[in-house]
Amino acid sequence: MVTPLRYALIFLLWAMVAVIYAPLIPAALTLISPALSLTHWQALFADPQLPHALLATLVSTTIAAVGALLIALLVIVALWPGPKWQRMCARLPWLLAIPHVAFATSALLLFADGGLLYDYFPYFTPPMDRFGIGLGLTLAVKESAFLLWILAAVLSEKRLLQQVIVLDSLGYSRWQCLNWLLLPSVAPSLAMAMLAIVAWSLSVVDVAIILGPGNPPTLAVISWQWLTQGDADQQTKGALASLLLMLLLAAYVLLSYLLWRSWRRTIPRVDGIRKPATPLLPGTTLAEFFTLNRCAVCGSAGDPRGSVDDQ
């Protein structure tokens, strides 16, 4: 009875996924068809707004992703485990419930000219933000709550807490515990959460309109403006800009994976499994060369030990 019910639930789940994503198939075809023409790509890259919009998108997305990760890790190092961590986790839904537009508007009213800080510090005038730095910082603060919510479920494991207690008792610092134990343990959950943060930061439109650079705006805003125009050429440029955002997401994923692999090699293994030591290639080559050279010399000159025994 349990097995047929499980299959029925799986089928129902896939049917719901198909209903949600089936309307995206015509949109995907509309997105891919202009990419097959070189003329459309030339028209996109000839647009004078594209270079600066691309730079602002990269800066804001990088600040948002790296900043959210750093804030979440700093909170974990400072509060976990303990009662303060439990109180913070209990307040996370309140921060997650704040809409992004409301959070961005609050940041604008706080830091913009004529805002609350400007009334108390009239000489404090923020410079013109052409690279989306303020947008990235705001997204970092907002998305750090999402990361903490994801990590709270992973850090609740009893085995991980016991390993942290062992490392603390052995005299390791909190940063060593984070570097050697916590990050490798939460990496699978952290990877998917960071993928969602990078994808959303690249494609955000509403928050970028409020806090992002104005002229030119970020690439997502330009793509939205082109797609909503009635001109077919502008809509084609908007579709290609959306495809360019997907390529940027793939580049972020590849770069993050390479950085993770490079950093992972520097972490000592804590599972008790030791890899066999592999000798260096130059040392092995030199050892074999000297062995063959000695054999060749002995073969050509005779065995010196035999002459000594004869004497």
Query: Of residues 212 and 219, which shows the higher confidence score?
Result: 219
Contact 140, 67 (CB under 8 A): yes
User: Structure pTM?
Assistant: 0.77
- State residue 271's pLDDT score: 58
Question: Which among 263, 104, 85, 110 has a CA at the least distance from the CA of 187?
Answer: 263
Of 126, 130, 108, 135, nearest in space to 213 by CA: 130
Number of domains in the chain: 1
CA distance 209 to 111: 16
18 located within any domain: no
pLDDT value of residue 307: 46
The model's confidence at residue 63, banded by pLDDT at 50, 70 and 90, is very high
Which tokens in the block code for residue 262?
Answer: 């490079």
List the domain range (segments joined by +) for residue 209: 27-264
CATH number (domain holding residue 31)? 1.10.3720.10
291 is a domain residue = no
Question: Does 311 fall in a domain?
Answer: no
pLDDT in tens, 152-203: 887 777 677 677 777 777 777 777 777 677 777 777 778 889 999 999 999 9
User: Is residue 284 in some structural domain?
Assistant: no
Q: Residue 181 is encoded by which pair of tokens?
A: 């134990």
In a domain, 281, yes or no: no
Residue 299 lies in a domain: no
Residue 69: inside a domain, yes or no? yes
Residue at 22 is within a domain: no
Structure tokens at 165: 């207690």
**Beta-carbon count within 10 A of 69 CB:** 18
User: Averaged over 29-39, what is the pLDDT?
Assistant: 82
